Amino acid sequence: MAAAGLLPFSPLPWRLPPLLLFTFSALASAALSSNYYGYQPAPSENGKHVMNLLAIGPRLGRQTPEARRLRRRLRSAPLTSSPTPPTTPSTPSPAPSVTAPSRPSPFARDMVIRLDNELMVGSFKTIDGRGAQVEVTGGPCITVQGADHVIIHGLSIHDCTPGKPGLVRSSPSHVGHRLGSDGDAISIFASSNVWIDHCRLSHCYDGLIDVTHGSTSVTISNSHFSNHDKVYIYICFYVYVLDHMHAYRLRVMLYSRQSIGDVMLLGHLDTFIADKGMKVTLVFNHFGEGLVQRMPRVRLGYAHVVNNRYEHWEMYAIGGSANPTILSQGNYFDPPSNPFLKQVTKRETDLAWQKWKWRSANDHFLDGAFFVQSGWGSVAPRYTPAQAFTAAQGSMVPFLTADAGPLNCTVPGRAC
């Protein structure tokens, strides 16, 4: 694959008011045109990677008039001045669950957000947490449904709970009845051109990220996953066994281990044919301690899993069913100490999986970890020249993922 050039880092020139989604159609259309959105990590002076949300626009959207106008406006915008935010945001009319109004700015300060019901994110929206520590926790979390061109950046999302049935606002002009979200950190339904970057996700009721119902062109990058808890269920009962002389009292213990949600689900059901067109890129993520399985679990579609760090899974790392195509490239696999859990992969069925195209290329395996390959034919991701990038060797991944999760940086008067 062709190597794309490094892009310079230039922070947003605004200091931005509280937690509000903003409409930024030019940036979104430029940045989110396909499954890997052409962002390139640029090494800073200390050798670590920083992400420039604006620099991707010139690379992917150079031919669009919106992108050209955006670049001219950004070049002419003074870095020392920022608009004065209104003291009272203009909110939509009240509803049982209210979406944040659109604002051209990220968060002005650190905050912890507990939602009464799921937050519906519409098309051409960005949640940008740079420059503040922003947590979404203790309630239903984020849903992207039927949307296009969405960026979620720099959030810590944890301890999400199921939503409740009721009216939820999906836009300033629409309120609809919802059955209640499942308790995922981020759910992506029937959406495209979605980029999740530099987030930290842990300990939710269901999954951490679901990409389902015909969603495609999704990138999940530079994010940290950990501590997705399990539930242990013990059932005890007694059985009396009689023979001709004695009665025996037996204590029978049934043990059931269930993961409450799994890390990442790509594809709705084995029979949901619309997911055949799904394309997802996972890159520079850190799958840390306290994770069991499904990092990801893929149905039907295509997943490029590249330069991610995996540590001590409790069952397996990458799984799937219904003939998905998976390219594992340049990943770093550090397995658990249990000798029976060294295998990276798991097929959810024994039927004809040998024909599924699952490949490992330049992965780095520690302590006996191994990837069971299958199938034949090309598994190349088929990025456009603007999206193409060179995958690093798996041994380099600990360095590449050192800054996974929200960026911890402070530049006076500017976002990261």
410 pLDDT band, cuts 50/70/90, is low
CA atoms within 13 Å, Cβ hemisphere of 353: 17
Rounded mean pLDDT of 199-217? 96
Whole-angstrom distance, CA of residue 299 vs CA of residue 281: 14
65-80 per-position pLDDT tens digit: 444 444 444 444 333 3
Which value, in Å, is the radius of gyration of the alpha carbons in the chain? 23
Band (349; pLDDT cuts 50, 70, 90): confident
Q: What CATH architecture applies to the domain 22-76+92-400?
A: 3 Solenoid (2.160)
Average pLDDT over residues 240-262: 49
Instruction: Quote the percentage of the chain above a pLDDT of 70.
Output: 65
Exposed/middle/buried for residue 256 (C-beta within 10 Å: 0-12, 13-18, 19+): exposed
For residues 22 and 125, the answer to whether their CB atoms sit within 8 Å is yes
Concatenated DSSP letters for 372-383? --B--S------
Q: How far is CA 231 from CA 228, 253, 292, 348, in A?
A: 10, 16, 12, 21
Phi (first) and psi of residue 257, to 5 degrees: -115, 125
pLDDT at 131 over 60: yes
pLDDT band at 93 (very low <50, low <70, confident <90, very high): very low
197, amino acid identity: D
Tell me which of 140-149, 312-321, 345-354 is least confident: 345-354
Question: Which residue in 305, 311, 333 sits closest to 391, CA to CA?
Answer: 305
Question: Which pLDDT score, from 0 to 100, does residue 412 have?
Answer: 61
Q: Residue 81, exposed/middle/buried by CB under 10 A (0-12, 13-18, 19+)? A: exposed
Mean pLDDT of 234-254: 47
Cα separation values, 305 from 197, 266, 392, Å? 15, 12, 12
Confidence tier at 228 by pLDDT (50, 70, 90): confident
251 is catalytic: no
Q: Tokens 């069913």 sit at which residue?
A: 321
Phi and psi, residue 34, nearest 5° = -160, -165
d(CA 145, CA 213): 9
Q: Does residue 352 or residue 189 have the better pLDDT? A: 189
Contact by Cβ (8 Å): 104, 415: no
Amino acid at 48: K
pTM recorded for the entire structure:
0.72
Residues 169, 200, 294, 309: which is the catalytic one?
294
The pLDDT of 85-108, averaged and rounded, is 48
Strands (E) located in 45-110: 49-50
Average confidence score pLDDT of the chain: 76
Query: Stretch 106-117: mean pLDDT, rounded?
Result: 92
C-beta separation of 230 from 260 below 8 A: yes
C-alpha torsion angle, residues 288, 294, 300, 306 (rounded to 10): 20
Angstrom distance (rounded) from CA 415 to CA 105: 10
